[in-house]
Amino acid sequence: MSKLFLIPSPIGNLADITYRAVKVLETVELILAEDTRTSGVLLKHYGINKPVTPYHQHNEHKVLQHLVQQMQSGKEMALLTDAGTPGVSDPGFLLVRECIRAGVPVECLPGATAFVPALVNSGIPMNRFAFEGFPPLKKGRHTLFTQLATEERALVFYESPHRLVRTLHDFIQYFGAERQCCVSRELTKMFEENKRGTLQEVHDHFAEKGVKGEIVIIVEGFTK
């Protein structure tokens, strides 16, 4: 019986990967990639030439059992998502759960994840925080935002660039225009931006400027 390694991949800058992660990728027999093209860039950059197969939200149910059976027979595998740590708003949970049930060892290496640097550099109190990932598009959106309106912990969200302004507008309606927030965009890349201010100020900034890149939103918790 072998092992599944969860490998955090850089969220932008290809240098943000650990020596240990590179070593593991060089030694496993198969690399599972959310997007083989994206992972291919990283692997080529570090001169890693290993078999790569797709593993993403559209095929994970279909290939799950086969992968676990291969690991039970002695195959070592590594899971790479496009950016950050597998399982954090990315595929990974189902495979980890099934490996645990089947007695296959699972090891997650420490490394890149987008919300940690966004939270740390936001300037918002972060001794306690709630990670919410991507907000629902329709169903459950009103219920979630209503519940979070009085949440005292800092709130952490991921969002796509074309929905950012709409989501900030909704936050204003539910949380109030004066609630402090920080939107981090393109973290670790050349055009990294951390826009801090009230929800209204940050909304107006991006409504006027437009938005590109990967987004993390940090919202100050409710204060009585």
Instruction: Return the domain boundaries, the chain.
Output: 4-108, 115-219
Task: State the architecture of 115-219 in CATH terms.
Answer: 2-Layer Sandwich (3.30)
Do residues 186 and 214 touch, judged by C-beta distance below 8 A?
yes
CB-based contact 182:123 (threshold 8 Å): yes
Q: Domain 4-108: give its CATH architecture.
A: 3-Layer(aba) Sandwich (3.40)
Which tens digit of pLDDT belongs to each residue from 34-90? 999 999 999 999 999 999 999 999 999 999 999 999 999 999 999 999 999 999 989
Residues 91-141: tens digit of each pLDDT: 999 999 999 999 999 999 999 899 999 999 999 999 999 999 999 999 999
DSSP run (H or E) holding 117: helix 115-120
pLDDT score recorded for residue 1: 62
> According to the model, what pLDDT value does residue 130 have?
97
Any idea what DSSP says for residue 161? G
Give the span between the Cα atoms of 192 and 190, in whole angstroms.
6
Query: Which residues, listed in sequence order, are joined to residue 9 by a DSSP beta bridge?
Result: 84
Pairwise CA distance, residues 206 & 164, whole Å: 8
Q: What is the DSSP string of 49-82?
A: ---EEE--TTTHHHHHHHHHHHHHTT--EEEE-S
- pTM of the prediction? 0.91
Helix (H) or strand (E) holding 205: helix 199-209
What phi and psi values does residue 168 have, to the nearest 5 degrees? -65, -40
